[in-house]
Amino acid sequence: MAEVLVYVDHVDGAVRKPTLELLTLARRLGEPVAVHLGPGADTAAPVLAGHGAVRVLTADAPEFADYLVVPKVDALQAAAEAVSPAAVLLPSSAESKEIAARLALRLGSGIITDAVDLTADEQGPVATQSAFAAAFTTRSRVTRGIPVITVKPNSAPVESSPAAGTVEQLAVVFGGLATGTKVVQRAERTSSGRPELTEAAIVVSGGRGVNGAENFTVIEQLADSLGAAVGASRAAVDAGWYPHSNQVGQTGKSVSPQLYIANGISGAIQHRAGMQTSKTIVAVNKDAEAPIFDLVDYGVVGDLFQVVPQLTEEINARKG
Amino acid sequence: MSLRIVVAVKYVPDATGDRHFAEDLTTDRDAVDGLLSELDEYAVEQALQIAEAAGDAEITVVTVGPEDARGAVLKALQMGAAKGVHVEDDALHGTDVIGTSLVLAKAIEHIGYDLVVTGMASTDGTMGVLPALLAERLGVPQVTLLSEVAVADGKVTGRRDGDAASERLEASLPALVSVTDQSGEARYPSFKGIMAAKKKPLESLDLSDLDIDPAEVGLAGSWTAVEDATARPARTAGTIVKDDGEGGKQLAAFLVEQKFI
Ligand SMILES: Cc1cc2nc3c(=O)[nH]c(=O)nc-3n(C[C@H](O)[C@H](O)[C@H](O)COP(=O)(O)OP(=O)(O)OC[C@H]3O[C@@H](n4cnc5c(N)ncnc54)[C@H](O)[C@@H]3O)c2cc1C
Ligand SMILES: Cc1cc2nc3c(=O)[nH]c(=O)nc-3n(C[C@H](O)[C@H](O)[C@H](O)COP(=O)(O)OP(=O)(O)OC[C@H]3O[C@@H](n4cnc5c(N)ncnc54)[C@H](O)[C@@H]3O)c2cc1C
């Protein structure tokens, strides 16, 4: 059976959920071979094996952390040459997309980004994408080379599927471009303790209507009652009320949760681009004409400072 | 020696218009007005600031696209870039990102550069991969997704805010930079800028000028193919209630019914 390379996104061996989703998709195309770069392969390997990786190729070197993107491309290229895969799958994070792009060019392959589903037929993988702020759904395929496809979070279920997961060292020779861009300093982001925005099943967002950084506690309390991640519109981020890493939209994160609750957000096209594919959409906005109401399954026309705390209280009461 | 900056800008259908696909499943560019991709305004702005800091610098703006795409270059010239280059050729219709990166790389080499600046993503394709492809093709460092950028003493430095960490990056020129919308508001063209732009040189190139085989671009030369595109079904109208003091409770009841609570 054909092998499919899956690039592992992880923090020191803690595998991120989108990678496990990729393993589910990879099993539709062939036998997943995971590529783990950097430290923590010992921790990651059993997890990858548990989700269907027949082999885990690992390489660790200071270059992966000290220089931007290219060392990882060199490693994936080495993996592709060693395996001759039927496809290469990567998560649709900003960095992984850049890795995917350079890899595709080196392999002489077409690239598809931000797939939301993958199926296979005799001619190989077919990727579903959502275009023009999710107004259209397209199905595309790579017609030349080894398909290189990046996939958005929440595009497939995480499934356990025990496989051998044999750990093998990958030999990587870094090319001349690998040390071009030096990472001179790195400040790790501190975790809020809440679920990761792109991976969360529920996202509660606040916009300009929240009217102040201090008022975001209203949003956070609702999020915590639901075990949700907190998102923000660009207006709220630009005003300095919430960190940019929580921005939902075209230039922020794109989210596709089971439930999205927009509070004090008008629903501009650039915001919709990041949340329109949410399964259930709820909005609280005091303006009945706000475009966000065109998208909702349930909307409350009202003042968020009345509605949201009441909702939070109800939820907490029901949880007992 | 003068710092040669090239900014790649894209002409895109206005996102607030009714964007859709043409019959051949390429972007229907006739249906909606086009404009300079708003995210590329940030690229032009940072290029202008880098040029101002350098003192002796020249900015050339390049676009690849049909006749109208000239509009994107014109806007950048109005903002303050010195020269424009428009790569236009019938054979380009339907080019994918790999092909686009080929054309841009050849055009940028033709222009001559020390620094290439791009946006973080286009507002239509929104792939966010062209900058990396361009760096690979040009064989220069990629210093991408910067929310802050500076050029001094032959080096680019910048800040990249990623998912897990915020990084400070450094590379030697020549290099390619892409900037995010966090890099700083773009200026509006002044009346003087608009008048001056009319006199600025705008060169038009076709594939033969760049020594590109038409078979390498266009729909036929693409390494990807769109099989079908379907409009998202209109959402069935949701329930909308007006808060009369019980809105939060009603919403809670909906969430219970939907099994979220
Ligand atoms: C290139 C580009 C990229 C962009 N990328 C993004 C992006 O990634 N994400 C993004 O969000 N935006 C993005 N934008 C900005 C986008 O166009 C909008 O400006 C932004 O989404 C507006 O944010 P908002 O809905 O919070 O604010 P507004 O549009 O000002 O809406 C605020 C809403 O709050 C309501 N409100 C006010 N007070 C209350 C109250 N007490 N109770 C209830 N409701 C209240 C108002 O009725 C109003 O509808 C981008 C724009 C551009 C040009
Ligand atoms: C909805 C949609 C989906 C698509 N999906 C795919 C796909 O999966 N695979 C594929 O190969 N192609 C795809 N394309 C085509 C691809 O978007 C175009 O080939 C495009 O020229 C390059 O991609 P981008 O604009 O998304 O680039 P991005 O990588 O998002 O653009 C980043 C920057 O590159 C520069 N740039 C991009 N294009 C140009 C240009 N023509 N002239 C000057 N500068 C430019 C700008 O500075 C821009 O800010 C898609 C197009 C659309 C409209």
Structure tokens at A236: 């709220």
pLDDT digits (tens, 9 = 90+) for A9-32: 999 999 999 999 999 999 999 999
> What is the position in ligand 1's atom list of the atom closest to the CA of A252?
8
* Residue contact B248–A309, C-beta within 8 A: yes
Residue B163 has pLDDT above 90, yes or no: no
Report how far ligand 1's centroid is from the alpha carbon of B154 (Å).
40
B144 contacts in chain A (CB < 8 Å): 68-69, 98
pLDDT digits (tens, 9 = 90+) for B101-152: 999 999 999 999 999 999 999 999 999 999 999 999 999 999 999 999 999 9
Residue A275 has pLDDT above 70, yes or no: yes
Structural contact between residues B238 and A297, judged by C-beta atoms closer than 8 angstroms: yes
How far are the Cα atoms of A2, A52, A151, A200, B78 from residue A26, in angstroms, in the given order? 10, 9, 11, 22, 49
Structure tokens at A99: 């890795």
Residue A196: pLDDT band with limits 50, 70, 90 = very high
Report how far ligand 2's centroid is from the alpha carbon of B155 (Å).
28
A251 contacts in chain B (CB < 8 Å): 39, 120-121, 180-181
- Nearest-ligand number for the alpha carbon of A101: 2
Q: Beta strands B34-36 and B57-64: pairing type?
A: unpaired
Q: Is A112 in the pocket of ligand 2 (CB under 6 A)?
A: yes
**Minimal CA–CA distance to B259: which of A201, A99, A310, A129?**
A201
**Minimal CA–CA distance to B164: which of A22, A154, A184, A186?**
A186
At B34, which amino acid appears? G
ipTM above 0.90, yes or no: yes
Percent above pLDDT 70 for chain A: 100
pLDDT digits (tens, 9 = 90+) for B239-260: 999 999 999 999 999 999 999 9
pLDDT digits (tens, 9 = 90+) for B10-39: 999 999 999 989 999 999 988 899 999 999
Structure tokens at B65: 């696209």
The packing angle between helices B247-257 and A304-319, to 10°, is: 50
Res B1: pLDDT = 66
Res B235: pLDDT = 81
Residue range A50-63: mean pLDDT, rounded = 98
> What is the position in ligand 2's atom list of the atom closest to the CA of A127?
8
Distance from CA of A246 to the nearest CA of B (A): 10
CA triplet B109, B187, A265: central angle to 5 degrees?
110
> Hey, is the C-beta of B220 within 8 angstroms of any chain A C-beta?
no
pLDDT digits (tens, 9 = 90+) for A72-113: 999 999 999 999 999 999 999 999 999 999 999 999 999 999
pLDDT digits (tens, 9 = 90+) for A244-258: 999 999 999 999 999
**Of all residues in chain A, what percent are helix, strand and coil, respectively (each to 5)?**
30, 30, 40
Q: Give A11-16 contacts, CB < 8 A, sequence gap 24+.
A: A11/A40, A11/B164, A12/A38, A12/A39, A12/A40, A12/A43, A13/A39, A13/A40, A13/A41, A13/A42, A13/A43, A13/A44, A14/A40, A14/A43, A14/A44, A15/A44, A15/A47, A15/A48, A16/A91, A16/A196, A16/A199
pLDDT digits (tens, 9 = 90+) for B64-90: 999 999 999 999 999 999 999 999 999
Residue nearest to atom 8 of ligand 2 (CA): A112
pLDDT digits (tens, 9 = 90+) for A31-42: 999 999 999 999
Structural contact between residues A35 and A170, judged by C-beta atoms closer than 8 angstroms: yes
